[in-house]
């Protein structure tokens, strides 16, 4: 991150605070009050950090005030004087092995990246008809057919996921889902193989278009992108 180089050259009084995602609310409030005081709305900062899923890093100084929402989760709380970016830098040093599973009804993409390099990919489609607007028995017949198509599609995607990821399952550091919320939920529910990755999930990418190879490749850069909020004097 270019931001890390900038912070390393910053001078002046400052405090740095690392907040992991699972830290209790009362502890977050206490630590934030100690670092930012009355200079910002603590409830707003806590809400933003909670929504990130990976925690947040506060750099609060005389000249720069920043909140960084890293792409990978902060493991433990940490407080220091100055613009201490060492812990943030350590989050991006390893070349993590990240599995990506993008799915919408009728299309899917499976990928594995090491660092930001895509080293494995599988893209496919399946027949799932759109919703039928007519009523009566015709609608019920269509619903049964659609339910069957969804079952077949989900089962097929699960089989492909297992084929692609099982040989390297122990190497995977993180898993990322993307695509449609309903499709992701069904796959997580029905595919037992995926449950072994429940403890290493990164925040989902829910605005992914119909999965294709190019969509999979662009998703990798999003996985490695952090969000930055900066307070400026008015």
Q: In sequence order, which residues have a C-beta less than 8 Å from that of residue 147 and are 6 or more positions away?
A: none
Q: What's domain 2-93's architecture?
A: 2-Layer Sandwich (3.30)
Contact by Cβ (8 Å): 45, 67: yes
- pLDDT score of 161: 96
**pLDDT tens readout for residues 115-141:** 999 999 999 986 554 555 555 555 555
Question: Rounded to whole angstroms, how far apart are CA atoms 41 and 51?
Answer: 16
> How much is the average pLDDT of 101-118?
93
Instruction: Return the CATH superfamily for domain 97-223.
Output: eRF1 domain 2 (3.30.420.60)
Contact by Cβ (8 Å): 181, 105: no
Nearest to 173 by CA among 224, 108, 104: 224
Cα torsion 51, 56, 60, 64: sign: negative
- pLDDT score of 89: 85
Considering only 3-7, 97-101, 113-117, 179-183, which range has the smallest mean pLDDT? 3-7
Q: Which residue spans of the chain are classified as CATH 3.30.960.10?
A: 2-93
Q: Which residue spans of the chain are classified as CATH 3.30.420.60?
A: 97-223
């Amino acid at each position: 991150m270019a931001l890390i180089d900038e912070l390393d050259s910053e001078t002046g009084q400052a405090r740095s605070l690392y907040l992991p995602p699972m830290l209790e609310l009362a502890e977050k409030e206490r630590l934030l009050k100690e670092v930012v005081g009355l200079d910002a709305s603590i409830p707003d900062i806590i809400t933003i950090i909670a929504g990130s899923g990976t925690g947040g890093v506060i750099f609060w100084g005389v000249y720069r005030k920043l909140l960084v929402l890293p792409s990978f989760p902060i493991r433990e709380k940490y407080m220091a004087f100055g613009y201490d970016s060492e812990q943030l830098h350590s989050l991006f040093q390893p070349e993590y092995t990240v599995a990506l599973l993008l799915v919408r009804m009728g299309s899917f993409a499976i990928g594995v990246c090491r660092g930001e390099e895509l080293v494995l990919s599988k893209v496919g489609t399946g027949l799932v008809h759109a919703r039928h607007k007519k009523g009566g028995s015709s609608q019920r017949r269509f619903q049964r057919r659609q339910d069957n198509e969804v079952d077949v599609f989900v089962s097929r995607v699960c089989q492909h996921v297992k084929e692609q990821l099982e040989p390297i399952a122990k190497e995977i550091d993180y898993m990322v889902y993307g695509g449609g919320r309903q499709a992701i939920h069904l796959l997580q529910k029905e595919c037992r193989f995926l449950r072994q990755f429940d403890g290493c999930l990164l925040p989902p990418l829910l605005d992914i278009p119909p999965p294709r190879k190019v969509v999979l490749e662009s998703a990798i850069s999003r996985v490695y992108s952090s969000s930055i909020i900066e307070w400026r004097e008015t």
